[in-house]
Each structure stands twice: as structure tokens, then as C-alpha cells.
Structure 1
Amino acid sequence: MKRKLLATLIGITITIILVSLLLSQIQMDDIVSTLTTINTLYILFGFILYIIINFFRTLRFYILLDRKIAIRNLFNIVCVHNMVNNILPARTGELSYIYLLKKHYNTKIGDGIATLFVARIFDFIAIFLMFFIAFILTKDLPILVTKVVWYIVFLFIICIVLLVGLLFFGKSVLKLAIIFSNKMGLKETRIVKYLLGKGRETMESFEEIKSKKLIFSLLLCSILIIGFSYLLIYIILYGMNIFLPFQKVLLGSTFLLLSTVLPIYGIGGFGTTEGFWALVFVPLGLTLETAIISGFSYHIIILIYLLVTGGYGLLIIYLSHKQTS
């Protein structure tokens, strides 16, 4: 409980500091003006794209869970999961997916962890592929940006290798953990027994997923998820009359996606999202003022999408649970 409280306090502090610094560079009226002048068609088209993204996220989990949960039911969980995950700091909302599966469909915690882990591996692979393509296609990048991009490419490769290695050699890692806990005399403690038990469940789920040869369908779903996510950012920017080339939007959006996994991610992403947005899009051609205003405007629009779909998901889950209880 203390750790959760500490994480929340840190998130709130980071959010207040960053938002205050960013807002000091612009006028609040500019954000309001930007939001009120965007053509409604772009907002609606963006919302349709967001629904499509959630559908493919749902389809990917549907495949990973061996089609045991109906897509319409899983869609509600995905909507709630995305809402919670983007509001809580440091991606702690990932646990909501595991919790909802366990509570409403009696899915093993190990299955939830395994499917979520595999989904994130394919997200990384899809982001890396599209990021590298955008980097190759984007010309006349500042030297500093080019250097940073190569560092990011290197980091991507390391992360993918580690994640895939854990997926395929997870049993060996679990055996080492068991040996270590035995030598340290920790195996019989409640927390270690619980963690090792969930580790076994997760490894069993990994083995089941690997045996079904789902790589192509999972990769296709992941590429569509990431591709539509980039298109969504491009459409919202276009609605703000910001006409960056698509490859630059793709390149910049990758850094934005990476920022969400950092432990400094603020409450609701406020401050951190806009800060990274400015750091990325200013070198790619926007003025600092335009970058900050568009960052806040985009973020508010996405939060509206999250709250609408997440609220819908929560309502349907509640009503379904009420009918069955």
C-alpha cells in the first residue's frame, strides 16, 4: 500500500512540475482555441480509428487466449484496460487486464501475464519495423536526431532480443529462480511461493502459445494496431492544420510511444506526454509553442476517446455481471 501511495505521489509531483513548466511557455487560450477550431470530422474519424485499434487489440488477445472468450466480451476488457493503463502512472494499469480476466472469466493469472507479455513483444517488434522504415524514408534530419535514432534502434534490438529470449527460455530462468530461492532459504515464504507458482502458470501459458504457431497472425494484428495508431496521430495533427510529412509523424510518434513505458510517466500522462511531444516534434519542424499546444490538444482528445470507450466497457461489464449474479 505504501509503495502504491508513493508511486501516486511521485506521479502527481511529476505531473504538476512538468505541466506548470510547459504551460508557462504558452497561453491556455491557445489550447482552447485549437480544440474548438478542429474540424469535427477529424475528431470523429480519429475516434473511428481508435475503435479499430481496440478491435485489433481485442482480436490479438482473442487469438492468444485460444478463442475462449467472445470478442464482444473481450473488447470491453480491452477498453477498460487501455483507459486505466493510460491514467495510472508508470503503466501500472497493465494489471487491470489480468484482474478483469481473472474476476469475470476465471482465467488463470499466468494466462493473463503470458498473453499480455506476448502482446507487448509483438508491439515492440511492430514499432521497431515501422520506426526503422520511417527513419530510412525521412531525409534531412538534424545530426543530433540521427544519432539519437541509431541509439533507439540499438535499444529496440536489445529489448526485442531480451523479450523473445525470455519467451523461449523462460523455463530456464524459472529454474534458476527456484534454485536461488532454495539456496537463500526463501522457497517456503508466502510471497516467494506465490511468485514461483504464478511463474509456472505463466511458463505453461508461454509453451501453449508457442505450440500453436500464431506468429504471423499476431504480427499482422500488431502491425495494424501500431500502423493505425500512427495514422490517428497524423489525422489529429492534420485537423490542427499541422502538415508534417507522414514519415516524420511516424518517427516522432515512436518516441512518444516509448515514453509511456518509462517510470516517470505522470498521472494521466500529463506533462510527460507533452514534454516528449515537444522534444520530438520541435527537431522535426514544429516551433516550441506549436509543439506544446498541439501536444496538450492531442492528449486531451485521446483522453476523451479513452474515457468514452473505457466508460462504455465498464458499464457493459457491470451490467453483465449484475445479470449473472
Structure 2
Amino acid sequence: MTLIKPRLLAIVSWAAVLLVLGVAIAWVGPERLVAPWRSIDPMALLVALALMVASYLIRTLRITRYFPDRLAGHFWSAFRLSSWHNLMNNLLPMRSGELAFPVLMQRYYRLSPLESVPVLFWFRLLDLQAILLIGLVAGGHLLGLSDGVLGLLFALLLLAPVLAYGLRHWLHGVLCRQDGRLAQKGVTMLESLPDRPTRLLGTLFWTWANWLVKLAALGWVLAALAPVGFAAGVLGAIGGDLTTVLPVHAPGGFGTYEAGVALLLAPLVDEPRTVLAAAVNLHLFVLGTALLAAALALFIRRPSPR
């Protein structure tokens, strides 16, 4: 009975999502969905695809450089891990795909969840910071924010990793003075977080490199799919990617991703059908590249058990 309920819930969820997607496509019209792809230069689209693959490689570097002792010489197996984690994160609902990261890190490299889960949480916080900061630069004025509000938000987001770094050291000192199993687990988890400035700056560098490359690709694709400029395209792409970082995430991202794109793009485009068509097409591009990377990763051997 306990197995039937989750399966039934998954079937109902996917059925509801596909129904909503079908209604949206019928409302927009298949011709409106296909038309933008006919006008895109194939070579330029190939460049955007190459940038997306480059972002997957940079994301892999963020992992291998964070665990240099355990993942030395394992770049391509880490690429396999990162690609499948990314695909699961895109396909599974409510952030459940994030479980792939600690599971695969333990299976491939014998890293316990106490070591990998805090790092994943740290990566996600930095992802959120990068997305929001790039969004403020690309479209803060498009959203009608004043210079004062923009400056305050920018300063707070820039300081957030430094404050988290200081909080980590303070909590580590407190827990080291405590006895008990729970305190020991807390110390283990905190020790997996950046413990020196170079490690902090390293994760910040690879996070920003990843998002600058990825959002450049997605912003260009969205600008080619909708009557907006590159900055507005980046802003709309950020709306979609925010739904992949925040807890609310439908199966496959269908519906939530489009809503994120449309939320930031709708004030800039008068025609709702055009906005929805561009959001659906951008989502298909993101899922297509994720599937491609995961398919290529199948040809990479998993690391041998140590």
C-alpha cells in the first residue's frame, strides 16, 4: 500500500502537468510555437548549445575543485554525476531531484551525506545569489526599481556569502565546545563548508562563471524567441531558473518554469500568447540540453569502488 500511493501520486501529478501543458499549447497554437525556431540562425543556435555544455563543464569543475583530495583525476565521472543530478533536478518535482547529489557522491566517491548535503546547500545559496545579482544588473530598471533599492539589494546580496562564512566559523566554535552525538554531526557538517577564504572565493568564482555562461546562452535564445532585447531575455531566463532553485517545482518543471519566465517577461511584451510560446520553447531548450548532457554522460564509466 505504501508503494502504491507514491506511484499513484506521481501518475496523477504527471497527468495533471501534461494536461495543463496540452491546454497551453492548444491555446498558443502549434504554429506560434514552431515559427520562432525557423527564423533562428542554426550556427548561432549551435553556439548557444555549446555555451550550455560549457556551463555543465564549469559546474563539474566547481565540484571537483571543492573536493580536490577525493575527486582528483575524476573529472569525467564527476561530469556524469553532475549531468544526471541536473537532469533529475529538472524532471522530479519539489526539489526531490536534489537527492541524486548525495546518493551519487556516496556511490561514486564514498562521501557521506553529512559531507555532501551541506555542500549542496552551500552551492544552492551561491546559485541563488548569482541569479538574483545578475537579474538586478540585467533588469532592475526594467522592473521599475529605484537606484536606492537596487543599491541596497545589491549590497545585501554581495555580503550574504561573507556573512554565511562568518556564521559557519561561529557555529563551528560553539558546537566544538559541546558534547553529544548531535553536536558531533553538526561539526562534521560544518567542516564540509568553506573553512578558509580561498575555498570561499573558489566556489564563488566557479558559481559566477557557470551562471554568466548559462544565462548568456539562455538570454540570447529567449531574445530570439520573443520580441525583446538581450537584457530582457536574460531577465526572463532568470525567472525560469529561479523556479529550479526555489522549493516550488512541478514535475519536469512544466508550468512552474513557464510561470517564472512569464512573470518577468509579461510586463515587457503585450501579447500573452507570445510570452507563453517563448517560455515553453525556452523550457524545451533547457530540457533538451539537460537530456543531451545526461545521454553523453552514459558513455562515461563510473569510478571504481575504493
TM-score (norm 1): 0.76
Aligned equivalents of 1:33, 1:245: Cα separation in 2: 18
Deviation at 1:18, TM superposition (A): 4.0
Counting only pairs closer than 5 Å after superposition, residues 123-134 of structure 1 correspond to structure 2 as: 123-134=127-138
1:217 corresponds to which of 202, 219, 238? 202
Alignment correspondent of 2:279: 295
Counting only pairs closer than 5 Å after superposition, residues 228-243 of structure 1 correspond to structure 2 as: 228-240=213-225, 242-243=226-227
1:111 aligns with 2:98: no
Deviation at 1:164, TM superposition (A): 6.4
Alignment correspondent of 1:253: 237
Kept in 2, the 8 Å contact 1:85–1:93? The answer is yes
Alpha carbons of 1:150 and 1:275: their partners in 2 closer, same or farther (altered >3 Å)?
farther
Kept in 2, the 8 Å contact 1:278–1:292? The answer is yes
Alignment correspondent of 2:45: 43
Kept in 2, the 8 Å contact 1:80–1:314? The answer is no
Alignment correspondent of 1:203: 190
TM-score (norm 2): 0.80
Aligned equivalents of 1:157, 1:258: Cα separation in 2: 20
Deviation at 1:149, TM superposition (A): 11
Structure 1 unaligned spans of 5+: 188-192
Kept in 1, the 8 Å contact 2:136–2:150? The answer is no
Alignment correspondent of 1:314: 298
Kept in 2, the 8 Å contact 1:22–1:271? The answer is no
Kept in 2, the 8 Å contact 1:50–1:305? The answer is yes
1:101 aligns with 2:88: no
Kept in 1, the 8 Å contact 2:220–2:233? The answer is no
Aligned equivalents of 2:290, 2:262: Cα separation in 1: 22
Aligned equivalents of 1:155, 1:18: Cα separation in 2: 35
Residues 194-230 of structure 1, C-alpha deviation per residue, up to 9 Å, x if partnerless? x877544322212xx3236222232221111111121
Calculate the aligned-residue CA RMSD, in Å: 3.8
Letter in 2 for 1:64: Y
Which range moved further: 287-296 or 31-40? 31-40
Aligned equivalents of 1:276, 1:282: Cα separation in 2: 10
Deviation at 1:53, TM superposition (A): 0.4
Kept in 2, the 8 Å contact 1:76–1:316? The answer is yes
Letter in 2 for 1:205: S
Counting only pairs closer than 5 Å after superposition, residues 1-325 of structure 1 correspond to structure 2 as: 8=10, 11-12=13-14, 15-16=17-18, 18-35=20-37, 37-69=39-71, 70-136=74-140, 138=141, 141=142, 145-146=143-144, 168-169=166-167, 172=171, 199-206=186-193, 209-211=194-196, 213-240=198-225, 242-285=226-269, 287-317=271-301
Alpha carbons of 1:233 and 1:204: their partners in 2 closer, same or farther (altered >3 Å)?
same
Higher RCO, 1 vs 2 (CA within 8 Å, ≥6 residues apart): 1
Aligned equivalents of 1:230, 1:312: Cα separation in 2: 22
Letter in 2 for 1:309: A
Alignment correspondent of 1:190: none
Paired residues, number? 300
Deviation at 1:107, TM superposition (A): 1.4
Structure 2 unaligned spans of 5+: none
Aligned equivalents of 2:197, 2:149: Cα separation in 1: 35
Residues 90-122 of structure 1, C-alpha deviation per residue, up to 9 Å, x if partnerless? 221111111111002111222211321222222
Aligned equivalents of 2:97, 2:173: Cα separation in 1: 25
Q: Which secondary structure state, in structure 2, belongs to the residue aligned with residue 146 of structure 1?
A: coil
What is the percent sequence identity of the aligned residues?
Answer: 22
